[in-house]
Chain A
Amino acid sequence: GQQVMQIPQYQHVQEGEDFTTYCNSSTTLSNIQWYKQRPGGHPVFLIQLVKSGEVKKQKRLTFQFGEAKKNSSLHITATQTTDVGTYFCARPFGGGATNKLIFGTGTLLAVQP
């Protein structure tokens, strides 16, 4: 269906290690968005990917959209304690330029100093 699977559910890393979360859909996506939610906080938009094979970077964060537009990944290089939080991918549904989103299950990242 329209569900978006995200793995892993939880990742614990030492500060300085890399981290990757993966998002998979059984259907082709028009675009995919990534959000970060700090503990006790609210989702904050990070990026939107639209094109097949697209790669975007934000400092230590690298976002990729698969060639088939069915999967996406977020990679963080050299994690810092400020990276702690839950990372969600989200796909739009219902058509139109709206933010009706189906969120992935999220990956909780813990960073040990």
Chain B
Amino acid sequence: EAGVTQFPSHSVIEKGQTVTLRCDPISGHDNLYWYRRVMGKEIKFLLHFVKESKQDESGMPNNRFLAERTGGTYSTLKVQPAELEDSGVYFCASSPFGSGFTEAFFGQGTRLTVV
């Protein structure tokens, strides 16, 4: 079974440009999360989807970040316009939806560098 896949694996863009990150969760996983790790610091929650609905986007830094999950399958995270402080590794994770605990499976991440 394929794991969570993210692409691109790396992206280097100039300040002011736009970048779109994509995440394909494990098939059948209704929960999809975006996290970010900046400069070797802790991993921070950005937002949570259940199917196509945003359940919690409290971690989104500002309105330059837009996440979508049309159709409840893959998700995109767009940064527009990118700023230097947006550099970091963006992780996507997914898990099945249910009443009990299920572990989250993380993708390999997208390393974003804004120059």
Q: Which residues from chain A sit less than 8 Å from chain B, CB to CB?
A: 31, 33, 41-45, 48, 50, 88, 90, 93-94, 97-106
Given A43-B43, A88-B42, also A100-B33 (CB < 8 A): yes
Interface residue range, chain B: 20 to 34
A97: contacting residue among B41, B91, B99, B108, CB under 8 A: B99
B45, B95, B98, B99: most-surrounded residue (chain A CB, <10 A): B45
Q: Would A100 and B48 be within 8 Å (CB), given that A42-B91, A94-B56 are in contact?
A: yes
**Residues 28-73 of B contacting A (Cβ, < 8 Å):** 31, 33, 35, 41-45, 48, 55-56
Partner of B31, one of A33, A41, A98, A102: A98
Expressed in whole angstroms, the Cα–Cα distance for A45 and B102 within the complex equals 10
Residues of chain B within 8 A of A101, CB atoms compared? 35, 43, 45, 104
Report Cα–Cα, A43/B33, bound state, in Å.
13
Question: Of the candidates B41, B48, B103, which one forms a contact with A48 in the assembled complex, judged by CB atoms under 8 Å apart?
Answer: B103
Residue in chain A with minimal CB distance to B93: A99
**In the complex the two chains form, what is the Cα distance from A82 to B101 in whole Å?**
28
Instruction: Contacts A42-B91, A42-B108 given; indicate if A99 touches B103 (C-beta within 8 A).
Output: yes
Q: Is B7 an interface residue (CB 8 A)?
A: no
Residue of A nearest to B91 (CB): A42
Question: Closest 10 CB pairs between A and B?
Answer: A99-B104, A45-B103, A103-B43, A42-B106, A43-B106, A103-B42, A105-B42, A99-B95, A42-B108, A42-B109
Is the CB–CB distance between A102 and B108 below 8 Å?
Answer: no
- Chain B residue with minimal CB distance to A86? B40
